[in-house]
């Protein structure tokens, strides 16, 4: 299968003046049918550790995963990070979490009962949010989307966030863009040129945020339209680009 032609140019080499924000699934890591099955090459962990040092700490993971999952995946690294698309945040060792509503327990139970009709479909309980996945069961898409729409009435203050073969029910008021802006207000990110690398629709908030702070976005893949200025083909290309960044001055 041929690689889609990118409509955007490749990004410049990583600069020591940047604040670098990295999405995880579909950006640093290749997708897996089950999120827990993703593989992290030890070489990537080494690259991130070196870049974190050379950027004076201004490198953060920004993910839909929980912070605890990120720490497990990238151990022994414990980088500045944003989890659950902005609902969890850690900088300088301080960690913040959004509370979980009681109604989420029943929403998870009902969703999992529906998902059982389609082997491979999954309802992921993230603590504060619910993610409905159909990557391994495409026929489940309509049912899971309809369920997500219907359950919103039980979760006031929540909305739907659509992603790559997933829809997530999550609280209003927080997203990757707002989380990036919050990080940019504090050391070691403050005063640096922000660069966000991501692949999904959920990353567009962050692309807009870094652009509004004299930075730019790097899209992984060929999805359009996008607020990103540059693009890389796939996670393998991202990892190679980051490794080349080890030569930054």
Q: Looking at 23, 199, 200, 203, which residue is catalytic?
A: 23
State in Å, rounded, how far the first CA of the chain is from the last one.
38
CA distance 214 to 216: 7
CB atoms within 10 A of CB 85: 28
DSSP tag of 111: H
Q: Is 195 left (phi over 0), alpha (psi -120 to 50) or beta?
A: beta
| Closest C-alpha among 65, 55, 72, 67 to residue 19 | 55
Catalytic site residue 23?
A: yes
221: exposed, middle or buried (Cβ count in 10 Å: 0-12, 13-18, 19+): buried
CA-to-CA distance for 130 and 110, rounded, in angstroms?
Answer: 12
| Positions marked catalytic | 23
């Amino acid at each position: 299968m041929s690689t889609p032609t990118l409509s955007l140019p490749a990004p410049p080499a990583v600069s020591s003046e940047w604040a670098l924000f990295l999405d995880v699934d579909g950006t640093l890591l290749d997708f897996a049918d089950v999120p827990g099955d993703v593989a992290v090459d030890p070489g990537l962990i080494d690259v991130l550790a070196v870049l974190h040092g050379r950027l004076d700490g201004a490198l953060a993971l920004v993910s839909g995963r929980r912070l605890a999952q990120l720490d497990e995946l990238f151990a022994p690294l414990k980088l500045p990070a944003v989890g659950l698309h902005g609902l969890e945040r850690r900088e300088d060792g301080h960690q913040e979490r959004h509370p979980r509503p009681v109604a989420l327990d029943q929403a998870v139970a009902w969703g999992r009962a529906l998902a059982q009709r389609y082997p491979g479909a999954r309802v992921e309980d993230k603590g504060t949010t619910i993610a409905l996945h159909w990557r391994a069961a495409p026929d489940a898409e309509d049912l899971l989307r309809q369920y997500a729409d219907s359950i919103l009435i039980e979760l006031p203050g929540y909305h739907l966030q659509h992603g790559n073969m997933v829809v997530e029910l999550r609280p209003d008021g927080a997203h990757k863009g707002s989380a990036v802006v919050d990080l940019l207000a504090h050391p070691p990110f403050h005063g640096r040129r922000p660069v966000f690398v991501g692949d999904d629709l959920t990353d567009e908030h962050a692309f807009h945020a870094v652009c509004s702070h004299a930075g730019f976005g790097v899209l992984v893949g060929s999805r359009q339209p996008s607020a990103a200025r540059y693009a890389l083909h796939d996670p393998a290309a991202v990892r190679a680009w980051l490794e080349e960044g080890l030569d930054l001055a």
